[in-house]
Amino acid sequence: MAGFGQFGQFTGRGDEHRGADIGAVLPGALSAALDEPFSPSAEQRAAFVRDGHIRLPRLLPPALVAALGEALEEQAALRRGLPGEGGAINRQPHFEQIGGMWTHGGLAQRFSFSQRLASAAAGLMGVRGSLLHHDNFLDKAAGNSHTPWHCDQQYWPLQQLGDRIGVVTTWVPLSDCPREAGALMFASGSHRWRPGGAADTGVDVHGLRISAVSEREVWKRAQAERCAVACDSYMLGDVSFHAGWTLHRAPANATGIPRAVHTIQYAAEDARWSAEARAGAATALGGEQRAGELLRSNGVPMVWHEGTADARL
Ligand SMILES: O=C(O)CCC(=O)C(=O)O
């Protein structure tokens, strides 16, 4: 077992549970909507590159997200009861994270292989193909605390692609998500913060693991940078995308209703393993990971490639 989920481990490819028929088949129209490619406008891409995040209202039909959400809840419930899932389930005061959803098949896999989401991610990154690095189900129960400020890319063994955004997290709330339920918020432009300058607080905020320290230090830096903090509410069907180095957090869930979210982490088609990748760690990502090599294995499927009818490996 090995994992690169930012908050914990996820299991191998899950072949042992692959037979489980989790959730119903999507009705045809919803199935088609899940795979209808989306090409961000020039304005949307420019905003994403500038701010490091963007929320696309109603990118998916609400009925589709509701159906997928039900299937994910079922899969989560099933996995909570399975022996051997301990490494894939990470319980924190801010949420419970279940990694590797797609590896268990069913509608979770359909969700994470969505051509619509993967094409949107590729368009925002400005590349022709998106690789599915991993996915997570995040359950912020009623009363769970805030998710501290942090960024994602520090957790992934991927090289930086010059000054390009090469890694994107897609955040899909599975019900309406007002701010007070724990809607994701972003420090705009924080993916471009560099050391030095008047706003530098002397702490590498992008290297801080999610914790009380990251919560305090990122906020200090955000104030010094006088950066705008985006904290929108989400309607069912809204989807946000944030860059790997964008600092983000979520408020506590102050409602009486659980806030479930599906997240999908994509890498650009030309992403390469960094020196932190471990040769021999073939289980989780389905192939050897050698520093400097392109990500190419069944464990990191190319879910979208422009001009290819079905890029799935
Ligand atoms: O949903 C949350 O509370 C945080 C999610 C997050 O940090 C992420 O998806 O990168």
pLDDT of 276 reads 77
To test the pocket of ligand 1, the residue of 140, 145, 180, 263 to mutate (highest count of ligand atoms within 8 Å of its CB) is: 263
CB-ligand 1 contact for 112 (6 Å cutoff): no
Strands (E), 52-192: 53-56, 89-91, 96-99, 129-140, 147-150, 167-173, 185-187
CA 312 to chain centre: 19
- Given a cut of 50, the residues of the chain with pLDDT beneath it are 1-23, 282-283, 313
What's the pLDDT score for residue 236? Answer: 98
For 222-236, letters b (16+ CB in 10 Å) and e give: beebebeebebebeb
pLDDT at 285: 57
pLDDT the model gives residue 311: 55
* 84 CA distance to ligand 1 middle (Å): 25
Confidence at residue 14, expressed as pLDDT on a 0 to 100 scale? 37
Residue with tokens 């359909």: 110
Partners of 177 in the β-ladder:
234
CATH classification code of 27-186+233-305: 2.60.120.620
pTM confidence score = 0.91
Residue 90 beta carbon below 6 angstroms from any ligand 1 atom: no
pLDDT of residue 19: 37
Per-residue model confidence as pLDDT tens digits over 212-222: 999 999 999 99
Contact 259, 173 (CB under 8 A): yes
Query: What pLDDT, on the 0 to 100 scale, is given for residue 66?
Result: 97
- What's residue 312's pLDDT? 53
Say how far apart CA 116 and CA 194 lie, in whole Å: 33
Judge if the beta carbon of residue 263 lies within 6 A of ligand 1.
yes
Does 171 contact ligand 1 (Cβ within 6 A)? Answer: yes
